[in-house]
């Protein structure tokens, strides 16, 4: 599916799930069960341990959804700019009236900020909605927007090397190939760790690292996380 089709998907999904449970709205489900509160609490704690948000940070939360991550980080940093294409999600985030959060409803691909605007950028459970060529353009922008010593964290990335751990039965394999023929994979774009690390270096982001998610996370069997620094 192209990123234009994904934005249509999310806008329709945002309308049809208005008023639903927050994790269900952002589709953090497995076998139709939403992520448990304890798994999500552990995930947020892990994000903080890895991303180390502090009170001087000026944070950009991309594909922020209804703000589950924005909310968690907002009282740990100076300010958060949160961006998502789904109007219902941005309205929901605005309704929280978090004093240091600015929420912007737009497509990431049309977003722009001045050089060195942010000390940290997070894109969580969002990269799969972009094609490889779009991700190259996005990383160039991230590198431009980050302040020196700033950090990029990209999380919950579908791992190309684990495709068959996800499509793990003959039935699921058939489903995968049929959807792929229509350029309509249900997950989106799958990435290699090395591809994203090399792209980071290409776009001026140093010390890229990518690693498997801790086992207890909801999608650990097929997703990974990565980070890189602006020197
Ligand atoms: C799986 S949700 C993740 C939300 C949030 N990061 C979280 O982890 O709770 C993916 C989000 O990406 C947003 N999205 C998808 N394509 C986008 C685009 N081109 N520009 C901005 N947001 C986009 C969707 O609207 C959706 O809210």
CA of 85 relative to ligand 1 center, distance in Å: 7
pLDDT at position 185: 87
Q: Directed axis angle between helix 3-16 and helix 87-95, to 10°?
A: 50
To test the ligand 1 pocket, which listed residue (10, 93, 122) has its Cβ within 8 A of the most ligand atoms? 10
Structure tokens at 63: 């594909």
Rg of the chain taking only CA atoms, in angstroms: 17
Structure tokens at 125: 């459970």
3-state SS, residue 68: helix
Taking alpha carbons only, the member of 202, 199, 223 closest to residue 211 is 223
Beta strand pairing status for 29-30 and 33-34?
antiparallel
Rounded to 5 degrees, φ, ψ at 33 are: -100, 135
pTM above 0.95, yes or no: yes
pLDDT at position 58: 98
pLDDT at position 183: 84
Q: Is the ipTM of this complex over 0.95?
A: yes
pLDDT at position 91: 97
Task: Output the tens digit of pLDDT for each of the chain's 231 residues.
Answer: 777 799 999 999 999 999 999 999 999 999 889 999 999 999 999 999 999 999 999 999 999 999 999 999 999 999 999 999 999 999 999 999 999 999 999 999 999 999 999 999 999 999 999 999 999 999 999 999 999 999 999 999 999 999 999 999 999 999 999 999 888 889 999 999 999 999 999 999 999 999 999 999 999 999 999 999 999
pLDDT at position 70: 98
Structure tokens at 146: 């980050």
pLDDT at position 177: 94
To test the ligand 1 pocket, which listed residue (129, 154, 158) has its Cβ within 8 A of the most ligand atoms? 129
In 10 A of CB 123, how many CB atoms?
A: 24
């Amino acid at each position: 599916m192209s990123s234009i089709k994904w934005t249509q998907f999310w806008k329709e999904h945002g309308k049809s799930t208005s008023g639903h449970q927050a994790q269900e709205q952002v589709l953090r489900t497995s076998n139709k069960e939403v992520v448990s509160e304890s798994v999500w609490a552990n995930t947020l704690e892990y994000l903080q341990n890895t991303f180390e948000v502090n009170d001087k940070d000026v944070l950009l939360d991309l594909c922020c959804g209804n703000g589950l991550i924005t909310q968690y980080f907002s009282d740990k940093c100076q300010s958060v700019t949160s961006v998502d294409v789904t109007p219902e999600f941005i309205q929901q985030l605005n309704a929280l009236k978090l004093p240091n959060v600015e929420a912007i409803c737009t497509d990431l691909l049309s977003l722009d900020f001045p050089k060195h605007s942010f000390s940290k950028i997070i894109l969580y459970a969002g990269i799969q909605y972009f094609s490889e060529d779009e991700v190259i353009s996005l990383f160039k922008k991230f590198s431009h927007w980050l302040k020196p010593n700033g950090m990029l964290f990209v999380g919950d990335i579908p791992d190309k090397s684990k495709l068959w751990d996800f499509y793990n039965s003959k039935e699921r394999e058939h489903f995968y190939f049929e959807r792929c023929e229509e350029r309509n994979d249900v997950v989106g774009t799958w990435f290699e760790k090395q591809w994203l690390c090399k792209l980071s270096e290409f776009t001026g982001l140093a010390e890229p690292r990518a690693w498997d998610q801790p086992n207890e996370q909801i999608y650990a069997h097929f997703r990974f996380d990565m980070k890189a620094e602006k020197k």
